Amino acid sequence: MSHFYDETSIERVEPGRWSTRLSRHWNIGENSNGGYALSPVLRAVQELASQPDPVTVTTHFFRPSKGDLDGEVRAEVLRAGRTLTSASGSLSQEGKSRLTVLAAFGDLGSATVSAHDITSPPPDLPPPDECLIRSGMEQGVDLPIMERTDVRIRPEHAGAGTHHLAELEGWIRFADGTEPTAMALPFFADAFPPSVFSLMGRVGWVPTVELTVHVRRRPAPGWLCARFECDDLHDGRLIESGRLWDSSGDLVAQSRQIGLLLAG
């Protein structure tokens, strides 16, 4: 059994419309994690696309999604090409729009010809068992999501407000042993603690306004290595960049998001 795939399942109601039910086990405080909430929409888009893998996923969040609450998913293909299918989708709960997704799907397993292959190596991290479990961090908010994910933070980044930079490095995987997939990478890109924690300390819930994830490869089984940093914080809005590497050391996803810093 996979909690992630069971708890992002969708049921087709009619062409272009599905029902779903989010679970509270993926909450940050009282609200669903954004990467989790967008996942049922991504599954609807995958059903419509003729290619299997998300290549780019951009999500705008209008209001928080809620766990243990039914939802309606809508999706439509905008353009179907030979190598990419572009589509849009949305999630509503209680008649209110929660988020909208614009995504392109392709086949990350297909071979392409390129004169160059440029990629950045993963950070040199201690092994997961030498890193701090996320639940040991004083983020200032309840973390039901820790029932579903296993997150380990580099020790020198894990102390609240003790690091001189707004950056976090560590490891992440599903707690039930489900192996990572390309479809899960948008979730993993949004499941780490806010990178400003290491600089500022208890930051509570940092809601995402917009998140873009570029999926580069299908991940190998095992832990994902992660690095996130905030390089722009102004007037209560922050911009954070992230990278994920698989157990083979290959860069599998990059992300960029703008969020709101609600704590003092």
> How confident is the model over 15-38, as a mean pLDDT?
96
Please list, in sequence order, all residues whose beta carbon lies within 8 angstroms of the beta carbon of residue 157, skipping any fewer than 6 positions away.
163, 167, 168, 169, 170, 198
**Mean of the per-residue pLDDT values of the chain:** 91
22 sits in which H/E element:
strand 17-22
At 144 the pLDDT is 92
> How confident is the model over 121-149, as a mean pLDDT?
85
Q: Count of residues for the chain?
A: 264
Confidence of residue 160 (pLDDT cuts 50, 70, 90): low
At 195 the pLDDT is 85
At 158 the pLDDT is 72
101 sits in which H/E element:
strand 96-106
Percentage of the residues of the chain whose pLDDT score is greater than 90: 75
Q: Which residue type occupies 53?
A: D
User: DSSP string spanning 191-215?
Assistant: -SPPTTHHHH-------EEEEEEEE
Which CATH code is given to the segment(s) 3-107+127-260?
2.40.160.210
Q: Is 165:132 a contact under the CB 8 Å cutoff? A: no
Which CB contacts under 8 angstroms, 24+ apart, belong to 241-244? 242/189, 242/192, 243/120, 244/172, 244/185, 244/188, 244/189, 244/219
> How confident is the model over 188-215, as a mean pLDDT?
86
At 90 the pLDDT is 98
Where do the domains of the chain lie?
A: 3-107+127-260
Kindly tell me if the per-residue pLDDT of 29 is higher than 90. Answer: no
Per-residue pLDDT tens over the stretch 83-133: 999 999 999 999 999 999 999 999 999 766 566 778 889 999 999 999 988
Percentage of the residues of the chain whose pLDDT score is greater than 70: 91
Please list, in sequence order, all residues whose beta carbon lies within 8 angstroms of the beta carbon of residue 189, skipping any fewer than 6 positions away.
35, 211, 213, 242, 244, 253, 255
Indicate left, alpha or beta for 55 from its phi (over 0: left) and psi (-120 to 50: alpha).
Answer: alpha
> How confident is the model over 158-178, as a mean pLDDT?
84
**Tokens 């030979």 found at:** 82
Kindly tell me if the per-residue pLDDT of 212 is higher than 70. Answer: yes
Burial of 60 (0-12, 13-18, 19+ CB in 10 A): middle
At 206 the pLDDT is 84
Angle at 48 between CA 43 and CA 50, to 5 degrees: 110
